[in-house]
């Protein structure tokens, strides 16, 4: 039975980042995922300025920068917001996942499912099922990067997400761009109850999607209705669909109990997504880098106190206002009320608030990245 220092379940961006950092520290790492990298993508893939400044994402995995945001009310009244900085870039996620998976010294096991584990002395024995066989590996530590409905979290008896929205989006090519690259956001409780609909268009790709609470709408039908009503905003007559992606997005904030002596959670499994604006790529990179540091320190010292720096309680205070706003947005189901709320954003103080929501740099708590961990994706 092969033994590893760390086994990571899930090869989304959080799992890939954690594996890469641990591998570069010389630890024996196994990365496990149900799919091949880039085969099953669930995220919109919009990188914010903080991520682009702190992490070295290859330019060929990023689209042109976006500085402009247009916010629409249910009646399609628009509010223009502009930043002096390059705020967003759309990631070419399939390419990024494939390059990012070239982790330094990391063993890679695709098309394999984590079936559970048992404790043997001071190590975990993990069962991994593939199409044709089952196998077992030993590990000193387990990392759950397996999404919002994490099996690893349940097996480790850590906290699990209890609130999420669902989203679906189409990625399109051959969509003409009028004006600068732009992020369009639509507040409409009929199409996207409890969240929003969006167009992210950088001149190379257009991402069109909707998100909302699963019990309140049919995401696929809502997306079709949304696309059908975009004729005055974007020209889709010659659009070529590249892919359709979707999945669950946790919106309850970072979970409190996300680490134990035997394993920890990263990414969506840890609820590391802004409750208000979702966007999980920055916390995926930031929190996974911290997780790798904590795991390496814990395995080296065997001091349980090291795990105390990886507690969701340390992060949740930064989400208090956004969690309250999440409650408000979740109950705003009348288009007339949403229309009034959008109109109020034209007032100077609330306009500044809207600007901060889209362009502010505090959506996820800072973690200890000193000195900065520059990750050269695919540079091996």
Per residue in 316-367, pLDDT (tens digit) is 777 776 777 777 777 777 888 888 888 998 888 888 878 877 877 655 656 5
Collapsing DSSP to helix, strand or coil, 329 comes out as helix
Residue 34 lies in a domain: yes
CA–CA dist 120, 143 (Å, integer): 17
Residue 367 lies in a domain: no
* CATH number (domain holding residue 20): 3.50.50.60
Residue 353 lies in a domain: yes
83's CB contacts (< 8 A; 6+ apart) are 67, 68, 69, 355, 358, 359
Distance linking the first and last C-alpha atoms of the chain: 29
User: Alpha-carbon Rg of the chain, whole angstroms?
Assistant: 21
Total count of domains within the chain: 1
What integer best gives the mean pLDDT of the chain?
Answer: 87
Residue 372 lies in a domain: no
162's CB contacts (< 8 A; 6+ apart) are 252
Residue 371 lies in a domain: no
CA–CA dist 126, 357 (Å, integer): 42
**Which domain range does residue 163 map to?**
3-359
Token reading at 278: 């979702």
Residue 99 lies in a domain: yes
Q: Is 366 left (phi over 0), alpha (psi -120 to 50) or beta?
A: beta
Strands 182-186 vs 164-173: parallel, antiparallel or unpaired: unpaired
Residue 84 lies in a domain: yes
Per-residue pLDDT at 176 = 96
Per-residue pLDDT at 370 = 43
Per-residue pLDDT at 154 = 97
- CA-closest candidate to residue 211, choices 245, 235, 183, 234: 245
Residue 370 lies in a domain: no
**Positions in the chain whose pLDDT score sits under 70:** 36-44, 99-104, 276-279, 321, 361-380
Per-residue pLDDT at 376 = 35
Alpha helices in the chain (DSSP H): 13-24, 49-54, 93-100, 151-155, 219-228, 281-301, 313-316, 320-331, 335-344, 348-359
**How far are the Cα atoms of 19, 52, 92, 102, 123 from residue 279, in angstroms, in the given order?**
21, 14, 15, 24, 35
DSSP 52: H
């Amino acid at each position: 039975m092969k033994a590893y220092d760390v086994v990571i379940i899930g090869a989304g961006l959080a799992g890939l980042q954690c594996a890469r950092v641990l591998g570069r520290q010389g630890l024996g790492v196994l990365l496990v995922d149900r799919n091949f990298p880039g085969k099953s993508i669930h995220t919109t893939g919009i990188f914010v300025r903080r991520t682009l400044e702190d992490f070295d994402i290859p330019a060929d995995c990023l689209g042109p920068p976006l500085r402009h945001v247009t916010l629409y009310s249910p009646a399609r009244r628009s509010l223009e917001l502009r930043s002096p900085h390059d705020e967003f870039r759309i990631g070419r996620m399939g390419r990024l996942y494939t390059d990012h998976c070239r982790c330094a010294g990391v063993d890679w096991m695709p098309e394999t499912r984590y079936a559970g584990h048992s404790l043997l002395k001071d190590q975990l024995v993990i069962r991994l099922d593939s199409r044709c066989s089952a196998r077992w590996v030993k590990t000193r530590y387990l990392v759950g990067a397996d999404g919002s409905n994490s099996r690893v979290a349940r097996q480790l008896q850590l906290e699990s997400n209890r609130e999420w929205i669902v989203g679906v989006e189409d990625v399109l090519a051959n969509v003409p761009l009028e004006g600068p690259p732009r992020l369009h956001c639509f507040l409409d409780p009929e199409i996207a109850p409890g969240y929003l609909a969006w167009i992210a268009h950088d001149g190379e790709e257009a991402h069109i999607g909707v998100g909302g609470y699963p019990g309140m709408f049919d995401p696929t039908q809502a997306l079709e209705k949304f696309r059908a009503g975009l004729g005055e905003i974007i020209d889709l007559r010659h659009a070529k669909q590249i892919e359709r992606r979707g999945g669950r997005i946790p919106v309850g904030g970072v979970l409190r109990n996300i680490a134990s002596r035997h394993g920890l959670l990263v990414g969506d499994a840890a609820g590391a997504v802004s409750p208000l604006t979702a966007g999980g790529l920055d916390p995926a990179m930031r929190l996974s880098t911290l997780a790798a540091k904590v795991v390496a320190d814990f395995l080296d010292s065997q001091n349980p106190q090291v795990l105390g720096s990886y507690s969701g309680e340390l992060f949740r205070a930064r989400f208090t206002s956004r969690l309250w706003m999440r409650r408000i947005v979740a109950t705003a189901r009348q288009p007339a009320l949403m229309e009034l709320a959008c109109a109020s954003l034209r007032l100077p103080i609330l306009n500044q608030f809207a600007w901060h929501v889209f362009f502010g740099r505090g959506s996820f708590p800072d973690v200890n990245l000193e000195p900065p961990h520059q990750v050269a994706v695919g540079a091996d």
